[in-house]
Amino acid sequence: MKFAVIVFPGSNCDVDMYHAIKDELGEEVEYVWHDTENLDQYDGILLPGGFSYGDYLRTGAIARFSKVMQEVVKAAKAGKPVLGVCNGFQILLESGLLPGAMRRNESLKFICRPTQLKVVNNETMFSSAYGDGERIQIPIAHGEGNYYCDEETLERLKANNQIVFTYENNPNGSLENIAGVVNEQGNVLGMMPHPERAVDELLGGADGLKLFQSIVKQWREANVVKA
């Protein structure tokens, strides 16, 4: 499986994401600059964390207009797995690939620490390697991770089982403790915690590796069926 790690001006977790795929997962991966106009050669798209375009206007608001985002939307519509982590999640929200918005943390402070999550939906292409209700530890590092959506959207998220991860102890005020959601088709995941920083015990834990393993497993199974 071949992954693209999208790099925007201001990205700073692209190297972490690259390492997780290449060295821990053992799959092919390339850095892809924000002005790239074709992603057809890639099987999976990864939007890393950081401060794209300095977080001017709103987090992810400028990155949403990068040339590459037209291709990310195209890949999402084609059913390819698209993962946005932290700033990548914010970009997916701004681009309309996921519902909702991000607000400043309730504390109005940047938070960087390990966080306990609960896997509330293990039937997605990103979470199938986890057990139902499994508790995992994934680090967070954000100042605007307070997920919000209106009541109608929240009910739709619940009805469609689109909430994948929730916080055990809410660090940022996020609505309903939401830490990660998928689109209705189930192939686009946005999450604030950083699974790429939890892929080896040397990093303090490897609970995030199962997320990437889930993607590869689901992709291979789908392509075997097609073949």
DSSP one-letter code for 60: T
- The pLDDT tens digits of the residues spanning 62-75 come to 999 999 999 999 99
Instruction: Please state the φ and ψ torsions of residue 112, each to the nearest 5 degrees.
Output: -140, 105
Distance between CA atoms of 161 and 141, rounded to whole angstroms? 26
What is the domain partition of the chain in residue ranges? 2-226
pLDDT recorded at residue 56? 82
Distance between CA atoms of 175 and 123, rounded to whole angstroms? 22
CB 218, CB 206: distance < 8 Å: no
- Tokens for 96? 């309309």
Q: Which positions are annotated as active-site residues?
A: 86, 194, 196
Distance between CA atoms of 149 and 153, rounded to whole angstroms? 6
- The pLDDT tens digits of the residues spanning 152-169 come to 999 999 999 999 999 999
pLDDT recorded at residue 175? 98
CA 103 from chain center: how many Å? 17
> pLDDT band at residue 226, thresholds of 50, 70 and 90?
low
Q: What is the mean pLDDT of the chain?
A: 96
pLDDT recorded at residue 57? 80
- If we measure between CA atoms, which residue out of 121, 68, 64, 117 comes closest to residue 93? 64
- Residues above pLDDT 90, as percent of the chain: 92
pLDDT of residue 12 exceeding 90: yes
pLDDT of residue 227 exceeding 60: no
pLDDT of residue 19 exceeding 90: yes
Distance between CA atoms of 154 and 169, rounded to whole angstroms? 20
CATH number among 3.40.50.1000, 3.40.50.880, 3.40.50.620, 3.60.20.10, domain 2-226: 3.40.50.880
- If we measure between CA atoms, which residue out of 172, 157, 26, 165 comes closest to residue 100? 157
- The pLDDT tens digits of the residues spanning 167-197 come to 999 999 999 999 999 999 999 999 999 999 9
- If we measure between CA atoms, which residue out of 66, 78, 83 comes closest to residue 29? 83
| pTM for this prediction | 0.96
Alpha-carbon distances of 10 from 103, 198, 215, rounded to whole Å: 20, 22, 26
> pLDDT band at residue 225, thresholds of 50, 70 and 90?
low
